Amino acid sequence: MRIAMIGTGYVGLVSGACFSEFGTNVVCVDKDATKIENLKRGQMPIFEPGLSDLVANNVRAGRLSFSGDLKPAVAGAGAVFIAVGTPSRRGDGHADLSYVFAAAEEIAHALSGYTVIVTKSTVPVGTGRQVADVIAKARPDLMLGRDFDVVSNPEFLREGSAISDFMRPDRVVIGTMSNADRARAVMRELYRPLYLSETPVLFTKIETSELIKYAANCFLATKITFINEIADLCEAVGADVQEVSNGIGLDGRIGKKFLHAGPGYGGSCFPKDCMALIRTARETGTPITIVETVSAINDARKLKMADRVESAMGGSLTCKRLAVLGLTFKPNTDDMRDSPSLAIVPALVSKGAVVRVYDPEGMDEARKVIGDVEWASDTYDALDGADGVVFITEWNEFRSLDWARVAKLMRGRVVVDLRNIYAPDRVADAGFTYHSLGRASVSPQ
C-alpha cells in the first residue's frame, strides 16, 4: 500500500517515517518548498532522537519520499493522512481548523479511486464529519463510503520518545463512521505490524476517537497540576512531594507517571488541547470545570516561579546575574511552544535580573521568542559569574554537574531547581543554598 502524509511537522514527519519503517510506501507532502528540499538533503526541521537516521534509512530503501506536489501523492494512495497544525485560535482558544479544511479540499480534487482520508491532527469532536462534508462539497461526484471514507486516528506521541511511542504504542485508536468496513480493513492493514506485538487496536465511532485524544491529554494535564498543587502544600506543612508522589503512585489505580512537581506543563499539546476541550464543552452546554481550573492554575504557576526565584535571591533581583538552564518545554526536543521558560525568563528580566541562558537543543528556537537575555555557549559558560542558577528543563546533562567547578565559576551560591533533579543534601554539601519544589530548602552546614 502507498500512503500520503500531508504535513511534515512533528506528527506528520514522525508518523510518515515510522509507517515507512513498517514497510509502507510513504510520500510526505508539504507546501513549504524549503522544508521539502531540506528533507530531501537529510536535514530535519525538528530535533527528535533517532529521527534523522530513521528518515535516511527509509529514503535509501525507497519507501519514503518528500514532495511539494499534493496531487500525484494523493492519486492512487490507499490512505491520505492529514497531519497539519491545529493551533489555538486567537480570541476564543478553539482549535484553528483552517489548515485541516484547506488540506481536505485540496485532497478532494486529487482523489482517484477509493481512498481513506485520515485525520491525524488533533481535532475537536465533529471535525471528521466536517472533513467529509468539505470533500463531498468539493467533489459532488464522490459518494461517502463508495469512493472515500473519513477516519480519525489520533496520535499519542511524546516529544523526545516519539519513534518508540509509534513503534510500541500503548494502543492505537481508530474512529470510523457507520458502514465503513473498507476503511477499517485499510487501517488494519496499515497497523498490521503492531498485531505481532499484541498492541490493542481500538475501533470506535469517529466522535469517540476524537474525544479520546482530548480526554487523555487533559487528564494528564490534570495529573500534573494536581501534584504541583500538592507540592505547594508540602512546602507549607513540611512534607516531601517526591515521597508523596511515590506513595500515591504505587497505587495501581493512580500510577507513577506525570506525578513530578515542576513549573507547569507546556508544549504543543496540553495547553491548546485543554483550551479546545474547554471550548467544545462550553459550546455543548456541558462545561468541564476541572479542566478550566487546571488550565488557569497552570498559567498562573509559570509566573509564580519568577517570584520563587526572587525570594530565593533575597527578595530582589535588581542587577543580579542569573544562569537559566533549560528553555524547551521538556528535554530531548527543541520545541519551545508554551514552554514555562517563555513566562519565567521575561518575568525574571522584568524584575531587574541579568539573565544568561543555555539549552542543549533549543537555542535557535528560543532566539525567535525570547529577548533581552545573554546567550551562553554551554552549561558552564552560563554559570560563569552568576549569582544564582535556575533549572527550568531537566536535560540529562544538567543532572550531573561538577559542583566543585560550578563553585569556582559562580559568584553566588543560590540554586533554584524547578524540576527537583538533585538531592538537596548533595548540592548543600557543595556549599550552595538549594531551593526546589515541594521540599524544604537546604543550606550549607
* pLDDT tens digits for range 219-250: 999 999 999 999 999 999 999 999 999 999 99
CB atoms within 10 A of CB 255: 12
Phi, psi of 20 (to 5 degrees): -65, -30
Q: How far apart are CA 166 and CA 66, in angstroms?
A: 20
pLDDT for res 92: 72
* pLDDT tens digits for range 265-290: 999 899 999 999 999 999 999 999 99
Q: Which pLDDT band, with edges at 50, 70 and 90, does 34 fall under?
A: very high
Percent of the chain past pLDDT 90, that is, above it, reads: 93
* pLDDT tens digits for range 95-147: 899 999 999 999 999 999 999 999 999 999 999 999 999 999 999 988 777 89
Average pLDDT over residues 388-415: 97
pLDDT for res 249: 97
**C-alpha cell recorded at residue 93:** 482558544
Domains of the chain: 2-199 (3.40.50.720), 215-296 (1.10.1040.10), 301-435 (3.40.50.720)
CB atoms within 10 A of CB 192: 13
Residue type, 57: N
Q: Does the pLDDT value for residue 322 go beyond 80?
A: yes
8 A C-beta contact, residue 107 and residue 132: no
What DSSP string runs through 197-253? TT--EEEEEHHHHHHHHHHHHHHHHHHHHHHHHHHHHHHHHT--HHHHHHHHHTSTT
Q: Does the pLDDT value for residue 50 go beyond 90?
A: yes
* pLDDT tens digits for range 60-70: 999 999 999 99
Which residues belong to the active site? 269
Q: Which pLDDT band, with edges at 50, 70 and 90, does 77 fall under?
A: very high
Q: Does the pLDDT value for residue 55 go beyond 90?
A: yes
pLDDT for res 4: 98
Q: Which pLDDT band, with edges at 50, 70 and 90, does 91 fall under?
A: low
pTM exceeding the 0.85 threshold for the entire prediction: yes
Mean pLDDT of all residues belonging to the chain: 96
